[in-house]
């Protein structure tokens, strides 16, 4: 029950502790029976009556407990039917004994009872004491109302409220006996609550009645120095012994058969592997005799402790942990507001569940702080072991329901009207056609999100009107497995659309929820590069040769199609690709186009520190290189967006060692140093550590344009495609020249001191806004291809939202 509610990790660990509690509880009952037998039949018994035929000592007590355990184990091994008949017989015997005790309180007159002498501190016997049965006497009741704790004569330990509670609590642990045998009952949903409530009410009434009668008629010395005083005041003492023995036998059988059922359930769930494999064995009638024998062996080990009260505290703590877990299960379901949680018990309330959890935890530490801490530590270790081992995922986890409830509550409180640029973070929507070729980009985008939303989007082409069922829903499992295998923190959003462009519009509009919606679209670059199958080279995606994973599920590589072959048709045309970028900008979304991410150094995409012997640069060009006459463009919104994204990437541990370089292009009319000083002042305000370099635009295609064309915008210009391509080529040469120029020498890679300087790991380029005329989309894409050709891993970025703030 706990496993199916709180998950197999918590349920398995608590279930094992509940099993240990039942095992120890069986041992406690048997030790109590042995102790009671030796008080009467022991050779060293010094009471006024007794046969004194049984040898005494630690070894003999262990032998008696072993023989009694064999009797109890034999009954439980033969099945629940024999156990039920034996339990009914013991119930009759206990009821008869109890009736004789209740009658004796009234029928027996006052008497003096000689008590067994106790050993003194030096081995000598203390003077004999006497107890008094006074009959119903108000003075006796008044004298017994105080605490007056004394030493336990069986252990020599001073008793306290917690220790008395621990001993007494063992008489109330049968409350789960019905639940332990739920598999043996014809109608457990009716029998368990009815039987449990009746049993608890009956037991509570009997205990209260016995407490009242004992304190009204027996003095404190008798109560503290003779735990078997019922025999001394009974009309027929043998009947009291029969009741005590029957009670102990019944409790030990209940604990043993309950423990075996719990162990069998743990073994059936395969939570602990081969360790519990023998407990799966059952007879033809369904009796788990393997679990019974397993439990019998553990009870035998616990009998080595030898003292009832010594073991009682540990047993009580184990039971309290299990009961607290049951209360926590119900409390979690109630707080999760699960619609299917509809308890039939009309008095159920989360208040009582919370009170139960708090009471159990409080009493655990009052009884034995060491045992309580040890039990919780053991539970934590078991939970960690089961978490590392992995368990079934089809049982349902209440944690998921609680998370849903809390996430919904906080999403409603996440008000988009209260957004502020100071707390801006990238929330990415990465459109992926085939993850086989996009694995490096998928991991790079995970690094760029900076704790923000990250959504993997995919468009399946088709029309639902022409299909018998939705082809998207069965794909979610494969994409979620991809997220797990790639170790990225991303959501998955899939859609069905007649075209990729329309599907991208759908995802841009509806991905996310409330204040968590993508603000940046990430696309792979549209070029003629042959897609690589990164599943074949990435160690995280290595799979068995037979194409199946553990558990028989298909391998991840079989769930995605192979990469597109060279020359094969594409799902997206160049026109629609640029149109998708335009759509995103119209929706006020930032755009990132990623090119050649497969060439990124592997250590930069890992989850580690990225330490490497070779230094790398991250280059940022915050100026529109296809619009050189616009003045220093690093102060515009898009330029600041580039700086912010590059800085975010530098915060990732794998990129800590990379050095950020910002390049400023100087026009022919601009004096060196002025723009650099302004940029350095801005970087100081934004607390961005970077190296600033000024580069001369040179005498290329960009410097010889007529001055009357103030904008110098070759993207929208119709004066000549060749001039625009020449400008893009010149800009590309400029960027490539700076990529090879490191700290090794003033002349760069061609003329220096022969030392090789740091290389550029990633380049951030200003993405110009697409032209207004859709007819020029192919030309725009060709300019971007020339601009970013042979630059290695490159991100072309166009930002439309402010991301930095220097005001308080």
C-beta of residue 723 within 8 angstroms of C-beta of residue 701: yes
Supply the pLDDT for residue 696. 77
Supply the pLDDT for residue 705. 43
More confident residue, 259 or 127: 259
Whether 756 shows a pLDDT value over 70: the answer reads no
Q: Taking all residues of the chain, what is their mean pLDDT, rounded to a whole number?
A: 83
Whether 702 shows a pLDDT value over 60: the answer reads no
Q: To the nearest whole percent, how much of the chain has pLDDT over 90?
A: 28
Beta strand ranges found along 647-758 (DSSP E): 659-666, 691-696
Task: Give the end of a domain, one of 343, 361, 389.
Answer: 389
Strand partners, 521: 429, 591
Query: Is 396 domain-assigned?
Result: no
Instruction: Give the CATH number, domain containing residue 254.
Output: 1.20.1740.10
More confident residue, 715 or 447: 447
Whether 255 shows a pLDDT value over 60: the answer reads yes
Q: Are strands 111-114 and 130-133 parallel, antiparallel or unpaired?
A: antiparallel
**Do residues 596 and 618 share a domain?**
no
The highest-confidence range among 6-15, 37-46, 583-592, by mean pLDDT, is 583-592
In angstroms, the Cα distances linking 157 to 31, 75, 152, 289, 750 are 18, 36, 6, 39, 89
Supply the pLDDT for residue 769. 93
C-beta of residue 296 within 8 angstroms of C-beta of residue 340: no
**DSSP notation for 467-534:** SSS-SSGGGHHHHHHHHHHHT---EEEEEEESSHHHHHHHHHHHSSBTTB---EEEEE--SSPPPP-T
Whether 50 shows a pLDDT value over 70: the answer reads no
What are the pLDDT digits (tens) for 401-420? 788 888 888 888 888 878 77
Quickly tell me which residue has 């996009």 as its tokens. 438
Supply the pLDDT for residue 546. 55
Quickly tell me which residue has 């409790």 as its tokens. 251
Task: Give the end of a domain, one of 335, 370, 389.
Answer: 389
Strand partners, 455: 429, 491
Whether 160 shows a pLDDT value over 90: the answer reads no
- CB-count burial class (<10 Å; 0-12, 13-18, 19+) for 267: buried
**Do residues 326 and 353 share a domain?**
yes
Supply the pLDDT for residue 717. 60
Query: Is 373 domain-assigned?
Result: yes
C-beta of residue 531 within 8 angstroms of C-beta of residue 564: yes
Supply the pLDDT for residue 706. 40
**CB neighbours of residue 671 within 10 Å:** 7
**Do residues 98 and 205 share a domain?**
yes
Alpha carbon distance 44, 61 (integer Å): 13
- How far is C-alpha 553 from the geometric centre of its chain's CA atoms? 23
**CB neighbours of residue 503 within 10 Å:** 24
Supply the pLDDT for residue 430. 97
Query: Is 808 domain-assigned?
Result: no
C-beta of residue 595 within 8 angstroms of C-beta of residue 523: no
Residues 689-709, mean pLDDT to the nearest whole number: 60
Question: How many domains, the chain?
Answer: 3
Query: Is 732 domain-assigned?
Result: yes
Whether 552 shows a pLDDT value over 60: the answer reads no
**Do residues 452 and 515 share a domain?**
yes
Whether 376 shows a pLDDT value over 90: the answer reads no
Supply the pLDDT for residue 537. 87
Sign, CA torsion 719/725/729/731: positive
**Do residues 321 and 450 share a domain?**
no
Q: Are strands 794-798 and 590-595 parallel, antiparallel or unpaired?
A: antiparallel
The residues, any chain, with a CB within 8 Å of residue 765's CB and separated by 6 or more, are: 621, 625, 642, 735, 787, 788, 791, 794, 795, 796, 797
Residues 299-311, mean pLDDT to the nearest whole number: 76
**Do residues 586 and 668 share a domain?**
no
Nearest to 494 by CA among 531, 462, 540, 452: 462
Residues 727-734, mean pLDDT to the nearest whole number: 90
pLDDT band at 36 (very low <50, low <70, confident <90, very high): confident
**Do residues 259 and 369 share a domain?**
yes
Instruction: Residue count of the chain, please give it.
Output: 808
Supply the pLDDT for residue 310. 64
3-state helix, strand, coil in the chain (%, to 5): 55, 10, 35
Task: Give the end of a domain, one of 337, 365, 389.
Answer: 389
> Buried b / exposed e across 119-157, counting CB within 10 Å, b at 16+?
eeeeeeeeeebebbbbbebeebeeebeeeeeeebeeeee
Alpha carbon distance 111, 256 (integer Å): 40
**Do residues 531 and 463 share a domain?**
yes
Q: Are strands 428-431 and 520-524 parallel, antiparallel or unpaired?
A: parallel
In which domain, by residue range, is 593 found?
426-538+556-565+574-600
The residues, any chain, with a CB within 8 Å of residue 317's CB and separated by 6 or more, are: 166, 364, 367, 368, 371, 372, 375
**Do residues 256 and 294 share a domain?**
yes
Cβ-defined contacts of 345-353 (< 8 Å, 24+) = 345/193, 353/327, 353/328
Query: Is 123 domain-assigned?
Result: no
Whether 580 shows a pLDDT value over 70: the answer reads yes
State the virtual CA torsion across 460, 463, 468, 472 in degrees, nearest 10: 20
Whether 520 shows a pLDDT value over 90: the answer reads yes
The first and second tokens of residue 259, run together, are 């423990």
**Do residues 522 and 636 share a domain?**
no
> Which of 348-352, 415-419, 767-771 has the least mean pLDDT?
415-419
Instruction: Give the CATH number, domain containing residue 491.
Output: 3.40.50.620
Alpha carbon distance 572, 27 (integer Å): 73
Q: What is the DSSP letter of 759?
A: E
Rg of the chain in Å (alpha carbons): 40
**Do residues 44 and 169 share a domain?**
yes
Sign, CA torsion 156/162/164/165: negative
C-beta of residue 761 within 8 angstroms of C-beta of residue 791: no
The highest-confidence range among 378-392, 420-434, 752-766, by mean pLDDT, is 420-434
Quickly tell me which residue has 């991303």 as its tokens. 490
Q: To the nearest whole percent, how much of the chain has pLDDT over 70?
A: 86
What are the pLDDT digits (tens) for 106-147? 998 888 888 877 766 666 667 778 888 998 999 999 999 988
The residues, any chain, with a CB within 8 Å of residue 756's CB and separated by 6 or more, are: 742, 744, 749
The first and second tokens of residue 563, run together, are 């990469």
Query: Is 527 domain-assigned?
Result: yes
**Do residues 379 and 504 share a domain?**
no
Query: Is 546 domain-assigned?
Result: no
**CB neighbours of residue 708 within 10 Å:** 5
The first and second tokens of residue 289, run together, are 């005799």
- How far is C-alpha 764 from the geometric centre of its chain's CA atoms? 38
**CB neighbours of residue 662 within 10 Å:** 26
Whether 751 shows a pLDDT value over 70: the answer reads no
Query: Is 87 domain-assigned?
Result: yes
C-beta of residue 70 within 8 angstroms of C-beta of residue 236: no
Quickly tell me which residue has 């002349």 as its tokens. 747
The first and second tokens of residue 333, run together, are 């379901």
Residues 566-581, mean pLDDT to the nearest whole number: 91
Supply the pLDDT for residue 553. 59
Instruction: Give the CATH number, domain containing residue 725.
Output: 3.40.50
């Amino acid at each position: 029950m706990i496993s199916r509610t709180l998950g197999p990790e918590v349920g398995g660990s608590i279930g094992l502790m509940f099993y240990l509690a039942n095992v120890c509880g069986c041992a406690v009952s048997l030790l109590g029976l042995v102790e009671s037998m030796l008080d009467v039949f022991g050779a060293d018994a010094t009471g006024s009556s007794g046969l004194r035929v049984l040898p005494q000592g630690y070894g003999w007590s262990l032998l008696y407990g072993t023989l009694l355990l064999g009797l109890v184990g034999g009954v439980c091994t033969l099945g629940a039917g024999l156990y039920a008949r034996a339990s009914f017989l013991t119930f009759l015997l206990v009821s008869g004994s109890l009736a004789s005790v209740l009658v004796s309180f009234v029928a027996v007159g006052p008497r003096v009872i000689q008590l067994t002498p106790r050993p003194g501190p030096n081995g000598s016997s203390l003077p004999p004491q006497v107890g008094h049965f006074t009959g119903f006497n108000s003075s006796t009741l008044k004298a017994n109302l105080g605490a007056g704790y004394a030493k336990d004569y069986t252990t020599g330990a001073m008793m306290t409220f917690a220790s008395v509670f621990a001993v007494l609590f063992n008489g109330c642990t049968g409350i789960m006996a019905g639940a332990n045998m739920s598999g043996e009952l014809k109608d457990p949903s009716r029998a368990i609550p009815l039987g449990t409530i009746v049993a608890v009410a009956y037991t509570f009434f009997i205990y209260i009645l016995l407490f009242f009668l004992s304190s009204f008629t027996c003095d404190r010395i008798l109560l503290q120095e003779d735990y078997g005083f019922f025999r001394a005041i009974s009309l027929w003492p043998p009947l009291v012994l029969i009741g005590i023995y029957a009670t102990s036998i019944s409790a030990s059988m209940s604990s043993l058969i309950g423990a075996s059922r719990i162990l069998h359930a743990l073994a059936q769930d395969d939570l602990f592997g081969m360790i519990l494999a023998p407990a799966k064995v059952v007879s033809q009638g369904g009796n788990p005799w393997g679990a019974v024998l397993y439990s019998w062996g553990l009870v035998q080990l616990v009998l080595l402790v030898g003292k009832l009260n010594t073991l009682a505290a540990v047993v009580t703590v184990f039971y309290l942990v299990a009961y607290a877990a049951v209360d926590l299960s119900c409390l979690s379901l109630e707080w999760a507001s699960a619609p299917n949680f509809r308890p039939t018990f009309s008095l159920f309330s989360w208040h009582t569940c919370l009170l139960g959890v708090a009471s159990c935890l409080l009493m655990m530490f009052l009884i034995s702080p060491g045992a309580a801490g040890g039990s919780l530590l053991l539970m934590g270790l078991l939970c960690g072991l089961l978490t590392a081992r992995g368990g079934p995922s089809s049982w349902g986890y209440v944690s998921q329901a609680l998370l849903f409830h809390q996430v919904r509550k906080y999403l409603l409180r996440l008000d988009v009207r209260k957004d502020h640029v100071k707390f801006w973070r990238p929330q990415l929507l990465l459109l992926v056609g085939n993850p086989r070729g996009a694995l490096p980009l998928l991991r790079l985008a995970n690094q760029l999100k900076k704790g923000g939303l990250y959504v993997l989007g995919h468009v399946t082409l088709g029309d639902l009107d022409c299909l018998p069922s939705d082809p998207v829903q069965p794909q979610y499992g494969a994409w979620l497995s991809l997220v797990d295998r790639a170790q990225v923190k991303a959501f998955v959003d899939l859609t069905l659309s007649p075209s990729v462009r329309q599907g991208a519009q759908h995802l841009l509009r509806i991905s996310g929820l409330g204040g968590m919606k993508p603000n940046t679209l990430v696309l792979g670059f549209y070029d003629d590069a042959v897609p690589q199958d990164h599943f074949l080279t990435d160690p995280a995606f290595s799979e068995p040769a037979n194409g199946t994973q553990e558990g028989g599920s298909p391998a991840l590589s079989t769930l995605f199609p192979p990469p597109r072959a060279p020359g094969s048709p594409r799902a997206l045309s160049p026109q629609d690709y640029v149109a998708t970028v335009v759509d995103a900008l119209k929706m006020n979304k930032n755009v990132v186009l990623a090119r050649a991410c497969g060439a990124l150094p592997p250590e930069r995409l890992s989850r580690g520190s990225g330490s490497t012997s070779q230094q790398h640069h991250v280059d940022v060009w915050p100026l529109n290189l296809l619009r050189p006459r616009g003045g220093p463009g690093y102060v515009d919104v898009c330029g600041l967006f580039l700086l912010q994204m590059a800085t975010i990437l530098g915060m990732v541990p794998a990129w800590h060692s990379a050095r950020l370089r910002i390049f400023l292009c100087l026009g022919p009319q601009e004096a060196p140093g002025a723009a650099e000083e302004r940029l350095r002042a801005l970087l100081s305000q934004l607390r961005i550590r970077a190296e600033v370099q000024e580069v001369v635009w040179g005498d290329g295609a960009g410097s010889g344009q007529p001055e009357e064309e103030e904008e110098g915008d070759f993207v929208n210009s119709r004066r000549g495609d060749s001039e625009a391509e020449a400008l893009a080529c010149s800009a590309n040469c400029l960027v490539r020249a700076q990529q090879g120029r490191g700290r090794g020498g003033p002349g760069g890679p061609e003329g220096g001191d022969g030392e090789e300087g740091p290389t550029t790991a990633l380049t951030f380029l200003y993405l110009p806004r697409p032209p207004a005329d859709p007819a020029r989309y192919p030309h725009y894409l060709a300019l971007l291809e020339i601009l970013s050709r042979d630059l290695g891993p490159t991100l072309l970025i166009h930002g439309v939202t402010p991301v930095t703030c220097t005001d308080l």
